Structure 1
Amino acid sequence: MVPIEGKCVAAERRHMLVVEEYMPNGSLSDIIDGSSQQLDWTSTFRIIRGIAQGVAHIHTKGAVHLDLKPANILLDSNMNPKICDFERSKILNQKDEDVAERVTEELAGTLGYLPPEYITDGIFSFKHDVFSFGILLLHTISKSGLLQDSTDWIPNALKGEDNVDSLLDTSSRDESELKEIKRCMDIGLQCTAKERTERPTMSDVIDLLDGKELLRKPPTGNKASSFKKKGKA
C-alpha cells in the first residue's frame, strides 16, 4: 500500500488532503496503456505477485478494496507495486473468506473490473477483489507484449471460448517462461469465475503463483472446480 506521509484539513471547505509517498514511475496503467515502454516478464511477474500480496494483506485486516485496477496500482522507483485509492473500501464484519454483505448506497467502481454479483445484487465480499485482481492480471499480460494478438481476447476467454495457449508468443521465450505466463493466465481466469464461491482466496492466488497449489482446468463457461494442495488428494 502507498504510505501516507501526512494530511491537511481544509476547514473552510471541510476537505481533507492526504499526502502520500511520491511514486516516480506512475501507475501500472501508465505503463501498460499509455507508454511505449514494455516490461520484461520478470518485472511483470514481480508486479503481479506484489499486487497479490498487497490485496491478501488488506483482506487479513477485514478490508475489501472494491476498486482494484491498473490506475490504482502505483510503482515506486524500483517498480514495486503499491495499492492506492481506498476511497470505496469497506470493512467486513467478519474475516471469513465466504462472508458477503450488500451495499446500501449507490454502486460504485470501474466497469470491467466489477464482479457479476456486485453488478446484479450489490453483493460484495473478499471475492470481489479476487475478481478485480483476475481482470487486472489478464489485462496486464494482454498489454505487456507477451501475446501474439493483443486485441481484446479477455471476454472470449472468460466465456471459455478462447484457447489461451494459442495466444502466447513463443518466438522469443524459453519453455519455463512460457509455462509461467500460461500459469498466470489460467490463474486470472480462475479468479474471474462467475460464481464467487468458486474463486480462490488471495492466499490461494499467492500459492498458485508460487506453484504451491495445483492449477485446476480453466473454467468452461466460467464454472470452476476446487483447488488442490500439492501432495494432497
Structure 2
Amino acid sequence: VHAKNLIHRDIKAANFLVGENWHVKLCDFGFSRSMGAAGDAMKAGAQMTLCGTDEWMAPETMMGLDYDQKADVFSFGMFLLEMSLRAEPKLRDPSKMYRFEEELYRRDAAKAGVPEGLIQVIVDCTRYEPADRPTMKEVLGVLKDLAKKQPDDTLDFVESSSDSELVEKKEKKDRHKHRDETDAEREKRRRREKKHDARERHRSRKDKDKDKESSEKREK
C-alpha cells in the first residue's frame, strides 16, 4: 500500500482477510487516500480528517494533528498487539496524549508468551513520535527475519508466499512431524483420522437430509 503512495488509515484485524491456507490480505480501503507527490504531504489536506478506529489510531490522528503513513505504522503495531494478545487493544488515555503504554504491554506480552522480537517490533511501531517509528518496509523486513527464527511458524503471516507454496510448506512440516512415529503410533493416528473422516461424512449426510426435509416442507 505505502509503496503505491497510499495511506490506508484503518488498519486493524477486522480489515484483514485470511485465506484457507493462511494467505493474508489487507482489505477495506474506504478510508484510504493517495499521498502527495513527495510521499510525506497530504493532497489538499484531505488526509487530515479524523478517521479510523480509535483503539488502533495513532496519537497524532486522535489529536487532530497532521499525519502521514507513519500513522498506518502505529495502527499496524496495534494490530500486531491484537494478534499477540488475542484481544482488541484498549482505548488509550487522552490525558496522556493517547500514548501507547509500553510497560503495561510488555507485562501482558510476557505473560502471554509473546516472543521478545515481536514485542520489540510492536513497541517500535507504536512510538509516540511518528519520526521514531520504522517504515512499513522496515517492519516487514524485521518480521520476515523473525519468522525464519520461529521453529513453530508462529510468524508465517508475514511471508509473501503463494497459496501453493504455503500448502507445500505445511505438507513438508507434517511429513517431518510424522517421520519419527513408531508403527503403533502411526496406526493409531491413521485410525483416528479415519474415524474423523467417517464422522464428517455422517455429519454431511445428516445436513443434506435436513436440507431435503426443509425443502419438502416448504413445497407443501
**In the alignment, does 2:115 pair up with 1:181?**
yes
Structure with more of its chain in strand, by fraction: 1
In 2, Cα distance between equivalents of 1:92 and 1:181:
34
Q: Of the candidates 199, 202, 205, which is equivalent to residue 136 of structure 2?
A: 202
Q: Which residue identity is paired with 2:24? A: P
Closer, same or farther in 2 for the Cα pair 1:109/1:154, shift >3 Å?
closer
Give the gaps of 5 or more residues in structure 2. 94-98, 147-220
Q: Which residue identity is paired with 1:209? A: L
Give me the CA root mean square deviation. 3.0
Q: Could you tell me which residue of structure 1 aligns to residue 210 of structure 2? A: none
Q: Map 1:148-167 onto structure 2 (within 5 A).
A: 158-162=100-104, 164=106, 167=109
Structure with more of its chain in helix, by fraction: 2
**In the alignment, does 2:8 pair up with 1:65?**
yes
Rg (Cα) greater in structure: 2
**In the alignment, does 2:76 pair up with 1:133?**
yes
Q: Is the 8 A contact 1:67 1:109 kept in 2?
A: yes
In 1, Cα distance between equivalents of 2:64 and 2:91:
24
Closer, same or farther in 2 for the Cα pair 1:151/1:71, shift >3 Å?
closer
Q: Which residue identity is paired with 2:73? A: V
Closer, same or farther in 2 for the Cα pair 1:167/1:159, shift >3 Å?
closer
Cα shift at 1:94: 2.5
Cα shift at 1:207: 2.1
In 1, Cα distance between equivalents of 2:27 and 2:36:
22
Q: Which residue identity is paired with 2:53? A: T
Cα shift at 1:152: 6.5
Q: Map 1:1-233 onto structure 2 (within 5 A).
A: 58-96=1-39, 99-101=40-42, 102-103=45-46, 106-143=49-86, 158-162=100-104, 164=106, 167-169=109-111, 181-211=115-145
Cα shift at 1:168: 2.7
Q: Is the 8 A contact 2:33 2:47 kept in 1?
A: no
State the SS of the aligned residue for 1:85.
coil
Cα shift at 1:164: 1.9
Moved more, 202-211 or 182-191: 202-211
Moved more, 113-122 or 158-167: 158-167
State the SS of the aligned residue for 1:190.
helix
Per-residue CA deviation, residues 1-31 of structure 1 (Å, 9 max, x unaligned), is xxxxxxxxxxxxxxxxxxxxxxxxxxxxxxx
In 2, Cα distance between equivalents of 1:67 and 1:210:
23
The count of residues paired between Structure 1 and Structure 2 equals: 139
Q: Which residue identity is paired with 1:161? A: E
Closer, same or farther in 2 for the Cα pair 1:122/1:142, shift >3 Å?
same
Q: Which residue identity is paired with 1:61? A: K
In 2, Cα distance between equivalents of 1:104 and 1:211:
33
